[in-house]
Structures are given as C-alpha cells and as structure tokens.
Amino acid sequence: MPLDLGAKGSCHIGGNVATNAGGIRFLRYGSLHGSTLGVEAVLADGEIFDGLSSLRKDNTGYDLKQLLIGSEGTLGIITAVCILCPSKPRSVNLALLGCRSFQAVLDIYKFSKEKLGEILSAFELIDSECMKIQETYGGHVNPLQDETLPFYVVVETSGSNEDHDELKMSSFLEEVMGRGYVVDGTIASDSSKFQSMWSLREGIAARLMKAGVVYNYDLSFSIEGFYELVDVMREKLKGNALHVCGYGHLGDGHLHLNAVGPTLSKEFLSLIEPYVFEWTSDRGGSISAEHGVGFKKRDAIHFSKTEKQIGIMQKVKSVFDPKGILNPYKTIPSGS
Amino acid sequence: MPLDLGAKGSCHIGGNVATNAGGIRFLRYGSLHGSTLGVEAVLADGEIFDGLSSLRKDNTGYDLKQLLIGSEGTLGIITAVCILCPSKPRSVNLALLGCRSFQAVLDIYKFSKEKLGEILSAFELIDSECMKIQETYGGHVNPLQDETLPFYVVVETSGSNEDHDELKMSSFLEEVMGRGYVVDGTIASDSSKFQSMWSLREGIAARLMKAGVVYNYDLSFSIEGFYELVDVMREKLKGNALHVCGYGHLGDGHLHLNAVGPTLSKEFLSLIEPYVFEWTSDRGGSISAEHGVGFKKRDAIHFSKTEKQIGIMQKVKSVFDPKGILNPYKTIPSGS
C-alpha cells in the first residue's frame, strides 16, 4: 500500500481515497491521484459508478474517478478501490538528525535527494518545541545528546538491496556531518529503535492534545518557505499561546502548524484566523494540504482557489448530486 | 521531465498533458495525473483556468485540473503546466534479451521487479515480426545471434549510483539466464549502442508504415493477457494481412497491436473492427491506453466505459463548454 499515515490504526481505505490522504511516504510514492487505478462508488441517485479498473493506462474519455478522489464524500460514497501497490522494500534505514538552522535542514534535504536518490522514502521535520512536548507529555527521551538544537529531521530509505542501501545512507551521513549541516544524529539499529524513532514523529499530534487546547493547521508551501509561518505565529501569539510549533512532511512542503492555548477561546482564535489563511494565500500556499476542507474551511476555500474554480466545482457538484444530499454544508460553498 | 515518448522530437508539453501521454518510462514515473502539479488553461468562455500551482499537496475542493489532463482539448486549451520532475539519473543501464516464450517474458518481468527494484525504469516488448520489420525497412541488424526467437525485451535501469546499478543489473541477468528465461542477450556498453537499442524499439511505428497500410491499436490489458490478442488476430487475418505484430510497454500492460494490409480497404478493416474492441472489452481492457479517443474512437468509447460514466462525461463537458465549441465531434459522444 503506497500510503502510510499516523492514523493507520483507525482510518479506512475508502476514507483515505475520499480525502486524498498523503502521509509520510507521499514523497516516494506520490499522490493517490497517480496510484489509484480504479474506484467504485455509490452516487447520489443510488446508481453505481462502476470504475473499478485495474488497468494502469486507460485514456477513454475524462478520468472521472479523479473527481471522487479527494471529494470528501460530496460527489459519491467510495465502496471499493484498486490501488497500485509497490513491492515491499527489503531494506529500510532510518536516521534522526539534529541541526542548528532551518537552512541546514534545507541543505540536508538537497543532499538526501542527491545521495539517497531513488531509495529516499521519507523526510520529516520536527522542531524543538514538538520535541519538548513529546518529552513532557509522551514520556519520550530525546535520543540526541545535544538538546539545544532547534530542528530535527527523520530521514528514511526503503530499497531492494540491504548492502547498497546501507552504503548510500552512510555516504549521505558522512556528507551532511562533514559539511556541518548535522551536528548530532542517530540511526535506528533495531526494530524497537525504529518504532520509537517513528513514534517520536507520529505521536506529536496526540501529545499536543495533552498540552492544552490545540489549534492546528494543515498547510503547504514551497519547501524554502516551509517554516517561516511558525516563527511569524510565535511572535504574533507571544504571551497568549502555551506553545507554537511546527512539524511535518518537509519533502512535500506540507507543514502541520500548531498553536496551543490554555482554553477554547474566540479571542485566541481571532489572533490566528483569518491571518494564517491570508498569509498562506499571499504566498501561493494551500490552506488544506491533505486534511480537506470539510465544514470548518468551506468558507475559506477562496484563500486557495479562484472564484472561477469554485464556480466550476459548484456546477460539478450539481452534475453528481443535484439535490445536494451528499455531505451537505461541506467542502464546496453553496452556489449563489 | 518524467515522460519520454517516441514522439519527443515533435510533440508539445501542452499536448502531452491534454492527451495524458504515457510513454516508455510510465512504469517508473507513473501517470501525469500524479506528476502534474498545476495547469493553466483557456476555457470555452475565454476565461483563464488559473491552476498553475507548484504545490505537491493541495486538498481544497475538487482537483479540477485532473479533468483537463487527458481531455484532448474538449474542456479547455492547456497553455501552461507545472510538472514534478525527478532528478536526472546518474547511471543508466540497458539490456536487450531474447526469449523462447511469452511465459518467459512474464517470468523475466517478475524477476526484474524483484532484482532491479526501485531502479527499473522501462520494460518493453518487441515480437519477432516487429524485429523483422525493423531489419527489412529500418536497416537494423538484430544484435542477437539467435534470430529464431519469438520475443525480445528491452530492460532499462536508471539510478543514482553506477556501481550499485551495475551490480543489480548483473545479478538480474545472471538470474534470468541461469533459469533459462533468457537464451540470448546483449547490454548497451556505450552511448551509440544505447541509442541503437532504443531505436530498435522506438522506430517500429515509423518502419511499419513502410511495410504497407497500417491498422494500429493502442490497447491495455492485465499483463498476463498482454500478447494473446496478437495471436488471435494473426489467425483471424491469415491470408489477408502482410504482417500482424505486437510491441509495447509490457510493464504497463500497454500493447501496440498492428495489422499491415496491402491497401486501404474497408473489407480488411471489417475483419478487425469492431472485433478488436469487443475482444478487449470482454477482458476488461482499454480500447485506448494512451492515444486518446479523438473522432475515430468516439463512438467506440462504450467498449471501455459504462453508459452511466459516459452520461456524466457529457454533463461535465456541458459545464466546461456549454456551446460545444472545443474540439467538437471528438472524445465524448454528443448527448441524446
């Protein structure tokens, strides 16, 4: 399955496709728009959309299943899918690296693409605030000795040849340590260390909820501008927030921005929204990288899409669901 | 550019996206539905579809650009695209292998996935009739000594590490020769041999046109059923056709079936159509793997899509182009 999510213990594949989930290996295996070969769905009129093809190539008319992928159940209810699955990798290597600046993170990413090439399977960022939250509320111990570092990255490779992959990883590590991009690091030498390294990254969302009331944003940017908004919000919420932190899929430009406040508060929220959306929109980013629009961001969709596009979406919704019975009030603003 | 086509000397990128071209490295880099990040297009009302995003992840509403990909200019005219490009591979290896049966070809394919893993970048089939046509009309010499073989495959790897890639390729070759799947083979040791090996595969379409009047079909199947139809048509056209041959992207299940007749003839065509489409449809295949529907196959689209799907396509066409001014008479049958 070319998809691996923090929510893998509870999510369903139909929901993954309906929301176009991305996850931690998107960097390697790409979007479900590329790997979903077929979709069967129940449409609003009760008829079946019978597109459960397993063909890799089929250019006969419009690729309608693409509309169902990521439609959040507003165009049809996905009942079966056919997904192209890669071979299970025989060798997996994982490293946690600490570095002194965001620029160093970008340099490491550049070198990971060059040195690890086709076996790079994840490149994730954890900032120091997320690391502290994991220590305080998750009982984790930072496995790196230098605890003053602002950024950590998790780099994973998956490949078909253990010897080759280890050589590529060690050549990469030598390069980034030698150049001073990485000041401290550790590799997962056994499966329990592998699990604990991934849970450091994947457990952040759950630990944040123990720290207070979480206001979280699922944004995407160019990789260069990935972390800027976290600093901006830290400054803006100074004295009001308990924590402001960022983590996510750096290789995909996908940032999870979190502000933790002491209580549920409209005043606190008004310091964040619509500012976060405006800031993101001004930089050509997406206000929903992978979690979708739902009802919460339905009226904010114009921060990422033009009036023209939203107008076409409304008409497409009417084609599939003229009575508006599928997930009403979600995703697409109602037409004027 | 994650796309490499026989037509690369003359085609345009806008047209590639408008027709959802696949090509010889689809196996590695996947569909343009996965790698096209943004599309700008002129719509039927003269307005701009302003979706030229370079974000890897954006789940804000329906992914409308997916409809433009492969719409053959019937929903809008693509004027700019943003495509995710892989790093240029530093090491490329190429082998031409000859084998005694189609089952051996399937076995080689299975081993290529296992042994070559993430560096496998193309797996192409050439049958002996195509090879003979290349010798007769292309002046090529079959580089393998055993000229009685029914099938040839071109296997390519692309990767980041020359030593690793060569080791993987030699381990793969040892395995398939040792098991008897391959009875003769050669590898490209320099760039001129590399070019000539690829031109053996890529030049088939042009050489076929020198052999007579070509009736060609662009079909996709499950990999197991890839070649069956060539044998079926060879039997059916015995005594009428000059040549019946098959080649194509085996790794993608994408067959180029060609029947060559002496003249342009309705009688000859009636021996092929609609039989080829019916046979393909009965096996769940596509009657247009990548060349699109155009006006020639518009009324045959029902062999690959249901009435329900075609009905939705017609409504989607009306949303984008209510007056039917974009490529009329192509791709989508007009509504009843």
Q: Please report which helix (H) or strand (E) contains residue B234, including its range.
A: helix B228-236
- The per-residue pLDDT for B9 is 86
- The per-residue pLDDT for A5 is 87
> How many angstroms separate the Cα of B108 from the Cα of each of B129, B176, B201?
20, 6, 18
SS3 B94: strand
ipTM of the predicted structure?
0.96
Q: Which of B30, B249, B285 sits opposite A55 (nearest CB)?
A: B285
In the chain, the amino acid numbered B302 is H
How many C-beta atoms lie closer than 10 Å to residue A110's C-beta? 13
Contact B261, B213 (CB under 8 A): yes
A:236-255 residues touching chain B, CB 8 A cutoff: 249, 252-254
Under an 8 A CB cutoff, do A63 and B61 touch? no
Question: In whole angstroms, what is the distance from residue B241 CA to residue B276 CA?
Answer: 15
Question: In whole angstroms, what is the distance from residue B236 CA to residue B143 CA?
Answer: 31
Under an 8 A CB cutoff, do A310 and B61 touch? yes
Residue A38: alpha-carbon gap to chain centroid: 23
B:266-305 residues touching chain A, CB 8 A cutoff: 284-293, 297, 301, 304-305
Task: Give the closest-approach CA distance of B167 to chain A in angstroms.
Answer: 10
Question: In whole angstroms, what is the distance from residue B68 CA to residue B39 CA?
Answer: 8
B:180-219 residues touching chain A, CB 8 A cutoff: none
User: Among all residues of chain A, which has the CA nearest to that of B333?
Assistant: A61
Q: Which of B58, B87, B119 sits opposite A304 (nearest CB)?
A: B58
Q: Which residues on chain B are in Cβ contact (under 8 Å) with A30?
A: 30, 34-35
SS3 B252: helix
Q: What's phi and psi for A152, nearest 5 deg?
A: -130, 145
Q: What is the 3-state secondary structure (H, E, C) of chain A?
A: CCCCCCCCCCCCHHHHHHCCCCCCCHHHHCCHHHHEEEEEEECCCCCEEEECCCCCCCCCCCCCHHHHCCCCCCCCEEEEEEECCCCCCCEEEEEEEEECCHHHHHHHHHHHHHHHHHHEEEEEEEEHHHHHHHHHHHCCCCCCCCCCCCEEEEEEEEECCHHHHHHHHHHHHHHHHHCCCCCEEEECCCHHHHHHHHHHHHCHHHHHHHHCEEEEEEEECCHHHCCHHHHHHHHHCCCCCCEEEEEEEHHHCEEEEEEEECCCCHHHHHHHCCHHHHHHHHCCCECCCCCCCCCCCHHHHHHCCCHHHHHHHHHHHHHHCCCCCCCCCCCCCCCC
The greatest distance separating any two alpha carbons of chain A, rounded to the nearest whole angstrom, comes to 63
Q: Which residues on chain B are in Cβ contact (under 8 Å) with A119?
A: 118
Identify the residue among A5, A20, A47, A59 best suited for mutation to test binding to B, counting B beta carbons within 10 A and taking the highest: A59
Under an 8 A CB cutoff, do A164 and B160 touch? no
- The per-residue pLDDT for B336 is 56
Identify the residue among B5, B42, B59, B220 best suited for mutation to test binding to A, counting A beta carbons within 10 A and taking the highest: B59
Q: Which residues on chain B are in Cβ contact (under 8 Å) with A54?
A: 222, 284
- Using the Cβ of B159 and the Cβ atoms of chain A, whether some distance falls under 8 Å is answered with yes
Under an 8 A CB cutoff, do A55 and B117 touch? no
DSSP state of B55: -
Question: In whole angstroms, what is the distance from residue B109 CA to residue B280 CA?
Answer: 22
Q: Which of B60, B306, B331 sits opposite A288 (nearest CB)?
A: B60
DSSP secondary structure of B145-169: S-TT-SEEEEEEEEES-HHHHHHHH
- The per-residue pLDDT for A8 is 85
In the chain, the amino acid numbered B64 is L
Under an 8 A CB cutoff, do A50 and B222 touch? no
Q: Which of A89, A304, A316 sits opposite B316 (nearest CB)?
A: A316
Q: What percent of chain A has pLDDT over 90?
A: 93
Burial (CB < 10 A; 0-12, 13-18, 19+), residue A114, is middle
Q: What's phi and psi for A326, nearest 5 deg?
A: -95, 115
Pick the closest to residue A256 from A292, A205, A303 (CA basis).
A205
Bridge partners, residue A181, by sequence: none
Pick the closest to residue B86 from A65, A34, A180 (CA basis).
A34
Q: Which residues on chain A are in Cβ contact (under 8 Å) with B60?
A: 286-288, 293, 297, 301, 304-305
Under an 8 A CB cutoff, do B117 and A87 touch? yes
- Ranges assigned E (strand) in chain B: 36-42, 48-51, 77-83, 91-99, 120-127, 151-159, 184-187, 213-220, 243-249, 254-261
Contact A70, B62 (CB under 8 A): yes
What are the residues whose beta carbons fall under 8 Å from the beta carbon of A81, sequence distance 6 or more?
A13, A14, A17, A36, A38, A39, A40, A52
Question: In whole angstroms, what is the distance from residue A170 CA to residue A156 CA?
Answer: 12
Q: Which of A55, A168, A221 sits opposite B253 (nearest CB)?
A: A55
Q: Taking the alpha carbons of A7, A11, A13, A19 in that order, is the dihedral positive or negative?
A: negative
Angle among Cα A179, A184, A190 to the nearest 5 degrees reads 120
Strands A254-261 and A243-249: antiparallel
- Using the Cβ of A313 and the Cβ atoms of chain B, whether some distance falls under 8 Å is answered with yes
Question: In whole angstroms, what is the distance from residue A35 CA to residue A168 CA?
Answer: 27
Identify the residue among B85, B118, B121, B170 best suited for mutation to test binding to A, counting A beta carbons within 10 A and taking the highest: B118
Task: Give the closest-approach CA distance of B305 to chain A in angstroms.
Answer: 7
Q: Exposure string (b/e) for A167-178, b if CB count within 10 Å is 16 or more? A: ebbeebbebbee
Under an 8 A CB cutoff, do A61 and B254 touch? no
Question: In whole angstroms, what is the distance from residue A127 CA to residue A101 CA?
Answer: 10
Identify the residue among A20, A60, A287, A312 best suited for mutation to test binding to B, counting B beta carbons within 10 A and taking the highest: A60
DSSP state of B86: P
- Going residue by residue through chain B, which has 336 residues, state the pLDDT in tens, using 9 for 90 and above: 899 988 888 899 999 999 999 989 999 999 999 999 999 999 999 999 999 999 999 999 999 999 999 999 999 999 999 999 999 999 999 999 999 999 999 999 999 999 999 999 999 999 999 999 999 998 888 899 887 899 999 999 999 999 999 999 999 999 999 999 999 999 998 999 999 999 999 999 999 999 999 999 999 999 999 999 999 999 999 999 999 999 999 999 999 999 999 999 999 999 999 999 999 999 999 999 999 999 999 999 999 999 999 999 999 999 999 999 999 999 999 875
Question: In whole angstroms, what is the distance from residue B305 CA to residue B319 CA?
Answer: 20
Tokens of A112: 């990971």
Question: In whole angstroms, what is the distance from residue B36 CA to residue A65 CA?
Answer: 16
Contact B256, B248 (CB under 8 A): yes
Under an 8 A CB cutoff, do A55 and B287 touch? no
- The per-residue pLDDT for A61 is 97
- Going residue by residue through chain A, which has 336 residues, state the pLDDT in tens, using 9 for 90 and above: 899 988 888 899 999 999 999 989 999 999 999 999 999 999 999 999 999 999 999 999 999 999 999 999 999 999 999 999 999 999 999 999 999 999 999 999 999 999 999 999 999 999 999 999 999 998 888 899 887 899 999 999 999 999 999 999 999 999 999 999 999 999 998 999 999 999 999 999 999 999 999 999 999 999 999 999 999 999 999 999 999 999 999 999 999 999 999 999 999 999 999 999 999 999 999 999 999 999 999 999 999 999 999 999 999 999 999 999 999 999 999 875
Pick the closest to residue B26 from B12, B5, B8 (CA basis).
B5
Tokens of A26: 């998107």
Q: Which residues on chain A are in Cβ contact (under 8 Å) with B253?
A: 55-57
Identify the residue among B42, B45, B54, B58 best suited for mutation to test binding to A, counting A beta carbons within 10 A and taking the highest: B58
Pick the closest to residue B204 from B144, B149, B262, B135 (CA basis).
B135
Under an 8 A CB cutoff, do A286 and B315 touch? no
Task: Give the closest-approach CA distance of B145 to chain A in angstroms.
Answer: 33
Question: In whole angstroms, what is the distance from residue A188 CA to residue A156 CA?
Answer: 10
Question: In whole angstroms, what is the distance from residue A241 CA to residue A231 CA?
Answer: 13
- The per-residue pLDDT for A336 is 56
